[in-house]
């Protein structure tokens, strides 16, 4: 997991700045993926066809990641009936146990899977965490954000894909 070690070094630098860089991207097909959740069950991108999916690469030890999670919990509650699915991709190297405890303590209400080098590569690399993608209902990546952002600002960008 060499790329995860590089990612963690980059995340440490991001923690210091905690600035978000967000931008719409030229639509491109989102990669197919299949990962295990914290209970060992398989979760795949196929399950979310026709939904607006937020893919959030994060870790329990990352302060900017932790800062965003309450907002994601609220967005999931607010928009799940409109087809929003947030998927957390944990890059914690200590395994699913620590992630499961964190999820319980923070009452995460969306699926969390355990990431690996293959999914990082499939999404074009993740230089720092949090890195978050918006995938539209047609399975196209439409937005990429590196760093933490206040929920209200992120919600405004997300709404354009929920309404289409």
pLDDT digits (tens, 9 = 90+) for 35-67: 999 999 999 999 999 999 999 999 999 999 999
Buried b (16+ CB within 10 A) or exposed e, 97-132: ebbbebbeeeebebbbbbbbeebbeebeebebbbbb
Give residue 16's pLDDT: 37
> E-strand spans in the chain?
21-29, 34-36, 42-44, 52-58, 84-90, 112-114, 131-135, 140-146
Whether the pLDDT of residue 21 is over 60: the answer is yes
Known active-site residue 58: no
Q: Is the pLDDT of residue 99 over 80?
A: yes
Structural domains present in the chain? 2-162 (3.40.30.10)
Residue of 87, 99, 91 lying closest to 30 (CA atoms): 87
Give mean pLDDT, residues 76-80. Answer: 98
pLDDT (tens digit, 9 = 90+) per residue, 104-161?
999 999 999 999 999 999 999 999 999 999 999 999 999 999 999 999 999 999 999 9
Q: Write down the pLDDT at residue 4.
A: 54
pLDDT digit string, tens, across residues 7-20: 554 444 444 334 56
Residues 6+ apart with CB under 8 A from 87: 43, 48, 53, 54, 55, 56, 110, 111, 112, 113
Look at residue 6 and tell me whether its pLDDT is greater than 50: no
What pLDDT was estimated at residue 19? 57
Q: What pTM value is reported for the model?
A: 0.87
Q: At residue 1, does pLDDT exceed 90?
A: no
Examine the residue annotation and report whether 130 is marked as an active-site residue of this protein: no
Among 11, 62, 91, 126, which one carries the catalytic annotation? 62
- Residue of 4, 43, 65, 112 with catalytic role: 65
- Cα separation, 55 vs 58, in Å, equals 10
State what percent of residues in the chain have pLDDT above 90: 84
């Amino acid at each position: 997991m060499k790329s995860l070690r590089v990612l963690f070094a980059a995340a440490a630098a991001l923690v210091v700045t905690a600035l978000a860089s967000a931008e719409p991207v030229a639509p491109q097909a989102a990669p197919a993926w299949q990962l295990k959740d914290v209970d060992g069950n398989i979760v795949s991108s196929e399950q979310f066809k026709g939904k607006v999916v937020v893919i959030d690469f994060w870790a329990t030890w990352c302060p900017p990641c932790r800062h965003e999670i309450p907002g994601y919990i609220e967005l999931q509650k607010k928009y799940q009936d409109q087809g929003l699915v947030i998927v957390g991709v944990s890059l914690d190297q200590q395994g699913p146990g620590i992630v499961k405890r964190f999820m319980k303590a923070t009452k995460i209400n969306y699926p969390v899977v355990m990431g690996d080098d293959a999914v990082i590569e499939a999404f074009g690399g993740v230089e720092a965490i949090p890195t978050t993608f918006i995938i539209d209902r047609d399975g196209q990546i439409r937005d990429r954000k590196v760093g933490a952002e206040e929920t209200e600002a992120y919600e405004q960008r997300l709404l354009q894909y929920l309404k289409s």
